Structure 1
Amino acid sequence: MVAGHLEEKNGLYYCVISYYERPGKRIRKWIPTGLRVKGNKKKAEKKLLEVRSKYIIPNAANDLNTEMLFGDYLRKWLEYRKSAIAITTYHAYKTRIERKIAPYFDERKMKLGSLKAAHVQEFYIHLENEKLKPCTIKCYHELMNTALNYAVRSELILANPLRLVYRPAVRKAIEPHSCYNELELEKLFKVSEGTLLEIPILLGAFYGLRRSEIIGLKWSAVDFENNLININHTIVPVYSESSYIYVKENRTKTISSRRTLPLIDPVKGKLIKLKTIQMNNRLVCGNAYEDTEGYICVNEVGKLYTPNWLTTSFGKLLKKHGLRHIRFHDLRHSCASILLRKGVQMKYIQEWLGHSNIATTADIYSHLEVSDMIPLASTIEKAMQVPDNPESSNLLSFV
């Protein structure tokens, strides 16, 4: 039912109907009741209810309404939001809607106005049964929550049903076994030397860079003279229609991810060597050399690495040389874990990794390995003494 209320004008009651024609544009329609204000309040309220229940929002702009399927509402809402969100966010939302949310709710003929907390809870259970991780289900939750909050603000529904839904708990802490220690990283550096993976691995391990930041790194971002490296450009894969496209942006995941870091000597030496190699490759290939934008992570003919190639090739490298399996992203966790063990303050680790706030860093990396706990055990042992009388009986007895 469309929103509306009564207004008085020139001694007469008017029904004022209110709805959104599109995001940010609210429409108000004044409909005369023909009833004078004096003595006709109840009749006017009855008339308002009748008008609201029968009023059909104009279909010229394919307006949202409570009778549309929830899946269709999400599709329309996303198109409304398209100009206000990043293209990567748009494609991520679209993929989630089309792959999981819309098929599930459309099959059940679920309308926007009929959606209840129990329906969403059952959807989450369905996702869990499909073996989706809690962090992935959280993404679906955030999408639907944002869309339904918009429905509340648009006065399509009275309240957001997701406020009553329990979503799976997301465990942020990184387990120690998912990180490489210093010796394991040294072995990794050795087996990757001279390969296309050498620079990405060094950037992941020394700087904790994300895949999108590594592949998006350009030579123009490296200041060899002042020994600085600027993280300010990313390449992100997004699923569009039936294939992946790669979005190049002069932006990072968060504002804090846009950072300038010191250029570490071992990394600097490897980058200088790679730049010389790429200059020679460019001369040999001539016009056939693909890269024209100055990216660092390209192959012999200038073809840019893709995030999926990086992930797959990294796994193959570990398997080939018998190294313990970790994800490429775990190099970032390894970097943070080593800094933490070396006594670096959490605030500095946050800035090094480019987290938006220190709470994120603390939630993920505040774990301790068993070896880290040995000094704690020694400290507590020395702080309290347990009596050890050799003459006491070996048998326990009630006091």
Structure 2
Amino acid sequence: MGVKIRKKGKKFYVFVNYHGQRKAKCVGTSRAVAEQVKEKLQARLALGDFGFFAAEPEALAFGEYATRWMREHANLHCKPSTIRSYNGILKLYLVPRFESVRLDGINRDAIKAMFVDLSEQGLSRNTLKNVLIVIRTILNGAIEDGIISANPAGKLGKFIPRDGDHFEVSPLTREELERFLAAALEICPEQYSLFLTLARTGMRLGEVLGLRWGDIQFGEDGNDKNRFVYVRRNWVEGQFGKPKSGKERRVDLSRQLRAVLIEQRDRCMLDAYLAGRSSIVDELVFPSKAGTPLDGGNVYARYFLPAIGKAGLRHFRIHDLRHTYASLLIQAGASLPYVRDQLGHSSIQVTVDLYGHLAPSANIGWVDGLDAIIPQQQNATPAQAATAEHNEEGLDVIETYGSPGVIRTPEG
């Protein structure tokens, strides 16, 4: 009699070999749980209980399991926007394809064929990646539940065709941004500080709508560098949640924005005092008249679009203010790691993919700069030593500033 535990990838499996009968079962990602299952199986086998070897019920069809997984997992652990996205992908792409197919009957060839068909329908690479994420996640759940032993959707990203055109952000110029802000100040002055906050922090709209006065560190004065906005929450789908990346972050507060928000804060403090409230720390910075978070759709239709029209600018999205913020920072010489931290990207690769091409255009200057440190005579030992010194210094400079790198995304 033998009951053993083995780990495959991140999963633990219990293997039983009893008088020629063999069976394996995935018990999840916890070794402690696997040890408990092992002990129970050993005790059952010692008592002559061989139910573990009994035939298991027929595997569920994909459609039935997906519905159960959404109810028991996604609806409990995912953000509303993620749930909505999962439901949409299931309805449009996965259920029509695999609804009645048994989970253990879905193989890699079937999934590859689906992506070929979807690609031929003209779906973007980003949409195809989202479809892959959903089916892979659901099938991982089936592994956790012991229904299947391997995920046929694993490591399929390389089979998703690439888009012919790479997405590039289209930020405003500094002059266009100032025209927009001036128009907003003229036609909707009560929302000017909201648009300035979007433009000077790069925060997402939901993050700005969820901002509270207690999240802002103003510093002693405009020269105090300890001034920032602490991004703690996101207002989306009528609920407060975590920022998109799942992490809180600090965003530096510019002098101009600090002055505008201090003036607004002082007005709010006076209103609170007259109303008998002693603090506004937990109050929203940009509330509706009822004191609740503003509706993003109303902000867009009632204030944002009219301001664009007043400024005489091309149509752009509220999210493009975030792209503009990043673009202006990079053009001013900010490093990509700094921009990543300000925007709250999950990795530097996201920042490079979105904004790398906006880095200062003097790309050839990095190479030309090397010419200035090459000595005219290279055949003397002292000169060679000096060259090594200068080369090391030059490499330090390149390392410090980073080389220029090269869609909206799950983290943009």
What TM-score bracket applies, with the shorter chain setting the length?
0.5 to 0.7
Q: Mapping of 1:187-336 within 5 angstroms? A: 187-193=179-185, 194-226=188-220, 228-237=227-236, 245-249=237-241, 251-254=242-245, 257-278=247-268, 293-312=282-301, 313-336=303-326
Q: 1:360 aligns with which of 344, 350, 354?
A: 350
> Per-residue deviation at 1:307?
3.1
C-alpha distance in structure 2 between counterparts of 1:217 and 1:326, whole Å: 24
> Per-residue deviation at 1:81?
3.2
- SS across alignment from 2:234: strand
Q: Match of 1:56?
A: 56
Q: Match of 1:169?
A: 162
**Structure 2 contact 234–244 (Cα < 8 Å) conserved:** no
2:343 corresponds to which letter in structure 1? L
Q: Residues 182 and 114 of structure 1: is their aligned pair in 2 closer, same or farther, counting only changes over 3 Å? A: same
> Per-residue deviation at 1:278?
4.2
Q: Could you tell me which runs of 5 or more consecutive residues in structure 1 were left unpaired when the two chains were aligned.
A: 35-46, 58-64, 238-244, 384-399
> Per-residue deviation at 1:215?
1.2
C-alpha distance in structure 1 between counterparts of 2:79 and 2:24, whole Å: 31
Structure 1, residues 111-141: CA drift from partner, whole Å, max 9, x if none?
2122133433444455556665432332221
Larger radius of gyration: 1
1:234 corresponds to which letter in structure 2? R
C-alpha distance in structure 1 between counterparts of 2:164 and 2:296, whole Å: 25
Moved more, 84-93 or 294-303: 84-93
C-alpha distance in structure 2 between counterparts of 1:133 and 1:308, whole Å: 26
Structure 1, residues 284-307: CA drift from partner, whole Å, max 9, x if none?
9x79xxx99511122344342123
Q: Residues 160 and 171 of structure 1: is their aligned pair in 2 closer, same or farther, counting only changes over 3 Å? A: farther
> Per-residue deviation at 1:376?
5.5
Q: When you count strand as a share of all residues, which structure comes out higher?
A: 1
C-alpha distance in structure 2 between counterparts of 1:197 and 1:121, whole Å: 49
The reply to whether residue 181 of structure 1 matches residue 177 of structure 2 is no
Q: Residues 368 and 97 of structure 1: is their aligned pair in 2 closer, same or farther, counting only changes over 3 Å? A: closer
**Structure 2 contact 345–351 (Cα < 8 Å) conserved:** yes
1:7 corresponds to which letter in structure 2? N
C-alpha distance in structure 2 between counterparts of 1:171 and 1:331, whole Å: 26
Q: Match of 2:6?
A: none
The TM-score, its normalising length taken from structure 1, stands at: 0.68
Q: Match of 1:242?
A: none
The reply to whether residue 103 of structure 1 matches residue 95 of structure 2 is yes
C-alpha distance in structure 2 between counterparts of 1:314 and 1:170, whole Å: 31
Q: Residues 102 and 350 of structure 1: is their aligned pair in 2 closer, same or farther, counting only changes over 3 Å? A: closer
**Structure 2 contact 74–83 (Cα < 8 Å) conserved:** no
Q: Could you tell me which runs of 5 or more consecutive residues in structure 2 were left unpaired when the two chains were aligned.
A: 1-12, 221-225, 373-412
The reply to whether residue 77 of structure 1 matches residue 69 of structure 2 is yes
Q: Match of 2:410?
A: none
Moved more, 71-80 or 213-222: 71-80
1:149 corresponds to which letter in structure 2? N
Structure 1, residues 195-233: CA drift from partner, whole Å, max 9, x if none?
344223212221111122211111111123445233232
Q: Residues 234 and 307 of structure 1: is their aligned pair in 2 closer, same or farther, counting only changes over 3 Å? A: farther
Moved more, 302-311 or 259-268: 302-311
**Structure 1 contact 14–31 (Cα < 8 Å) conserved:** no
What is the root-mean-square deviation in Å for CA atoms of aligned residues? 4.3
Q: Residues 292 and 377 of structure 1: is their aligned pair in 2 closer, same or farther, counting only changes over 3 Å? A: closer
C-alpha distance in structure 2 between counterparts of 1:171 and 1:179, whole Å: 22
Q: Residues 171 and 150 of structure 1: is their aligned pair in 2 closer, same or farther, counting only changes over 3 Å? A: farther
* Number of positions where the alignment pairs a residue of Structure 1 with one of Structure 2: 337
Structure 1, residues 140-171: CA drift from partner, whole Å, max 9, x if none?
21122122234345553343222474224379
> Per-residue deviation at 1:282?
6.4
Q: Match of 1:135?
A: 126
Q: Residues 230 and 342 of structure 1: is their aligned pair in 2 closer, same or farther, counting only changes over 3 Å? A: closer
Q: Residues 274 and 358 of structure 1: is their aligned pair in 2 closer, same or farther, counting only changes over 3 Å? A: same
